[in-house]
A and B are shown apart, each in its own frame.
Chain A
């Protein structure tokens, strides 16, 4: 059974009200979602809040999900929407605060994370999102375009700009 099949099975279980399946579904996807939200907002606490709100919204409406195999896309779409809503609020504009660091054991890893976050902070949200979906999370162009709600051509264009800026800033750090 593939990872995707396993996830679909858990979604079906959660839809039928099995709390064990619901718990396993969170367990199976929380790491990826947290990583995405963490690099998206650059703040440990905010990433946790976004992640938690995303799961609550998605799992509350899981009965309405007609294509269980698209659960992960739905999760990332919701996280992206919540982040953009958060960002719209004028007091939250300007994005990345670099004041909180993740819980990592190795100081080398911590340094690396800081460098990546620093480079990402130079990107607008509309460029950062495709970059993280494709190059960090490994979504296909088609999936990423669906999650963001744009065409594949637009996605390629944003991705191109995002990679240019990111690589430039990352090299400098």
Chain B
């Protein structure tokens, strides 16, 4: 039985190998243009890849430039944006950590129309459009706080200039403050 299976297996192997050997001997050829087509396709893909790579580099360059401009704008134009409520006192704290505070001897705060200074102790400050502050020696805390009051809805710009002892401008800050209506009112 087992011998029969073996001979059956051998016969199957022999028939298969003979048939496929014949197949191998036959002159079965691919199209004579196949090689040319493959080489043309490879050349085409290569040039497409190079073009894509060039565009990718250009796009990456533009993106980097845009990010750079954005960073530069946010870092060096000194503009900041805040939100406040109309007719409510709003405390502005100008951070001075990036400035050389030992050089600073004073500051001038200028308000736009529709914005006033607010102080319970000195209500007369409301009439001033700008405020000159001077201090002797270095600041204890590198923060300049003041309180303002907005009368109308919209974005206003408060300007702060820092001076040295000779009254030269050391730094400037423009603070964009958006006054919003109180919700529900």
Binding site for B on A (CB under 8 A): 19, 22-23, 26-27, 30-31, 34-35, 38-39, 47-48, 51-52, 55-56, 59-60, 102-105, 109, 112-113, 115-116, 119, 131-132, 135-138, 160, 162-164, 166-168, 170-171
B25-53: CB near A (< 8 Å → 1, else 0) gives: 01111110011011101100100000000
Q: How far is the CA of A60 from the CA of B22 in the complex (A)?
A: 34
Contact B39 A51, beta carbon cutoff 8 Å: no
21 A-B pairs in the complex with CB atoms less than 8 angstroms apart: A22-B39, A30-B30, A30-B34, A39-B23, A51-B30, A52-B38, A56-B45, A102-B28, A109-B26, A112-B26, A116-B20, A116-B22, A131-B20, A135-B20, A163-B9, A163-B12, A164-B8, A164-B9, A166-B15, A166-B19, A167-B16
| Least CB distance, B34 to chain A, in whole angstroms | 6
Q: Are B38 and A56 in contact (CB under 8 A)?
A: yes
Q: Nearest Cβ distance between residue B32 and chain A, in whole angstroms? A: 10
Interface residues on B, range: 20 to 34
**Given A23-B35, A56-B38, A116-B23: A104 and B16 within 8 A (CB)?**
no
Most interface-central of B15, B30, B42 (chain A CB within 10 A):
B30
Q: Give bound CA distance, A163 to B13, whole Å.
A: 6
- B11 lies within 8 A of chain A by Cβ: yes
Q: Are B15 and A167 interface neighbours, CB within 8 A?
A: yes
Complex formed: what's the CA distance from A164 to B29 in Å? 28
Closest Cβ of chain A to B3, distance in Å, is 17
Whether B38 pairs with A59 at a CB distance below 8 angstroms is: yes
Contacts of B19 in A (CB 8 A): 115-116, 119, 166, 170
Closest to B14 in A: A167
Report if B77 contacts A (CB, 8 A).
no
B residues adjacent to A (C-beta < 8 A): 8-9, 11-13, 15-17, 19-24, 26-31, 34-35, 37-39, 41-42, 45
B76 nearest CB across to chain A (Å): 46
Query: A131: shortest Cβ distance to chain B, in Å?
Result: 7
Interface of chain B, helix or strand or loop or mixed? helix
A104 touching B30 by the CB < 8 A rule?
no
The closest CB in chain B to the CB of A33 belongs to: B30
Chain B residue nearest in CB terms to A119 = B19
CB neighbours (8 Å) of A27 from chain B are 35
Q: Which of A38, A52, A167 neighbours the largest number of chain B CB atoms within 10 Å of its CB?
A: A167
* With A34-B30, A167-B12 as contacts: A136 and B20 at CB distance below 8 Å: yes
Which residues on B sit within 8 Å (CB–CB) of A138? 24
With A and B bound together, what is the CA distance between A31 and B29 in angstroms? Answer: 6
**A26 → chain B closest CB, angstroms:** 5
Which residue of B is nearest A31, CB measured? B29
Flag if B34 contacts A136 (CB, 8 Å): no
